[in-house]
Amino acid sequence: MKCLDCPNEVVRKRPQGPPPQRCPSCRAARRRETDKHAHRRQRHTPEYKAKYRAYTLQKNYGMTVEQYDEMFEKQGGRCAICRSDEPGWSKGWHVDHCHQKGHVRGVLCHKCNLMIGLASDNPDTLRAAANYLSMV
């Protein structure tokens, strides 16, 4: 049987079990390559995700995880605009903030965050849209 990675012949040492697919040198090289990328697997651990969440909340919005949790709890665990209890996308809830002044306004679902963003945070545009929807 030939190695999957090179033209060398793979020698079966034991008669039982599946035959090896790679020669010893290719197995060692593959193991080194896998170990080289171990840091990428680290990103999927719960500890890393919690640390990264705390870092991004502080860096982007100047708030702690506790402040975020308190704000979201005051909203009843729902979107501040539509009151949905579903974030609407795989990455979770959006922290809504004023782009001019930088202060955090609340936590929004994906649809409401898009609505605010597409209106360029302009209350007049949103009022005009609400008036338009009220027309018969």
- Residues 9-15 have a mean pLDDT of 81
**Domains recognised in the chain with CATH numbers:** 1-36 (no CATH), 64-134 (3.40.1800.10)
Where do we find the tokens 């936590």?
A: 107
Cα angle, residue 15 at apex, residues 13 and 20 outer, rounded to 5°: 55
36-81 per-position pLDDT tens digit: 777 777 888 899 999 999 999 999 999 999 999 999 999 999 999 9
DSSP character string of 103-136: -EEEEE-HHHHHHHHHTTT-HHHHHHHHHHHH--
Q: What is the dihedral angle through the alpha carbons of 21, 25, 30, 36, rounded to the nearest 10 degrees?
A: 170
DSSP state, residue 8? P
97-120 per-position pLDDT tens digit: 998 888 999 999 999 999 999 999
Where do we find the tokens 């079990």?
A: 17
As a whole number of angstroms, the distance between CA 57 and CA 42 comes to: 20
Is pTM beyond 0.85? Reply is: no
